[in-house]
Amino acid sequence: MRARVGHFPEVPMRTLRLMVPLASLALAAAPTDMALTSADGFALKGTLTLPPAKGKVPVVILAHQFGSDRTGWAPLAERLAARGIGTLALDLRGHGASTQKDGAETRITGDFMASAKAVGFDKIPADLAQAAAWLRKQPGVDGRRIGLAGSSVGAFSVLLAAPEVKPIAILSLSPAGTVAFGADARERLKGALLRGRTSALVLASEGDKDAAENAQAVKDLPGVAVTVKEGSEHGFAYFKERADLMAVFFGEYLTYHHSGKTYAAEAARPAAPDHLINDATMAEQKKADAPK
């Protein structure tokens, strides 16, 4: 079962190149480590990577899934860099290097709910807003062209963070972990997307119940494109077949649609183009772009 929503704008041919020359990946600037302290005392660590450019560049903030860390985004980050898009990859609270709270070690365990309570997963959206505020002050960053990408609990968090971050585009892979955000989390999710006024691409699988239900809950909202696929893929597992397409999504919204032009309100929130969410057109596009 696949839910597809919204107006699919005509996509210029120059944006449809999916395959990235590997040599271009080497052009990415050296990453810079960064650190923030959350409102409740977590020392949050991350890596900012900006590709070489004459002017300021768009940047996507990356929020990983439970049990992972910032390095899990490497397949997408490399492709974004090749398209001239920077990344701010965070270790979410309790993960990776972000495990110090008020000087004490505070790390996730193997139990999701116990970790959510101990670490405070419901505060991740506020962490993302804080990271976005920091990011917009950095030299070389175009603060008007910020995107969000999240996986699993990170995917739920980036959607909730939309009103405060004000991203141009959001990629949400398997938005899950609803129980960590309170009884009214799903309603707040819909409200956040309405207030955030952004374009969002949400991917989920039928066998991934929580993520599929969250995807269905937002499918009728303006500017949101949803695909619920057969199977049970979750989060980073989508990189295997769709990492190139995810980079195309951000390329279209951060570099083409918003490259200094002014758009009418009704065109400012287009849903994702059909070739990004339709399996048939995705396969055709990848075949057309395969090396001859």
In tens, the pLDDT along 46-84 reads 999 999 988 999 999 999 999 999 999 999 999 999 999
Q: Is residue 2 domain-resident?
A: no
Q: Is residue 1 domain-resident?
A: no
How high is the mean pLDDT of the chain? 84
The tokens for 198 are: 């952004």
- With residue 125 as reference, give the H or E element that holds it: helix 124-135
Q: Is residue 38 domain-resident?
A: yes
Q: What is the pLDDT at residue 14?
A: 38
Report the percentage of the chain scoring pLDDT > 90.
74
pLDDT tens sequence across 158-170 = 999 999 999 999 9
Q: Does residue 181 register a pLDDT over 80?
A: yes
Residues 6+ apart with CB under 8 A from 197: 166, 223, 268, 269
Q: Is residue 123 domain-resident?
A: yes
pLDDT tens sequence across 224-246 = 999 999 999 999 999 888 899 99
Q: Is residue 5 domain-resident?
A: no
Q: Is residue 4 domain-resident?
A: no
pLDDT tens sequence across 269-280 = 555 555 555 555
* Longest Cα separation, the chain: 56
pLDDT tens sequence across 98-134 = 999 999 999 999 999 999 999 999 999 999 999 999 9
Q: Does residue 199 register a pLDDT over 90?
A: yes
Q: Is residue 6 domain-resident?
A: no
Q: What is the pLDDT at residue 49?
A: 98
Count the domains in the chain.
1
The tokens for 106 are: 């505070």
- With residue 157 as reference, give the H or E element that holds it: helix 153-160
CATH code assigned at 273: 3.40.50.1820
- The range of the structural domain enclosing residue 217 comes to 13-289
Specify whether the CB–CB gap between 173 and 155 falls below 8 A: yes
Q: Is residue 8 domain-resident?
A: no
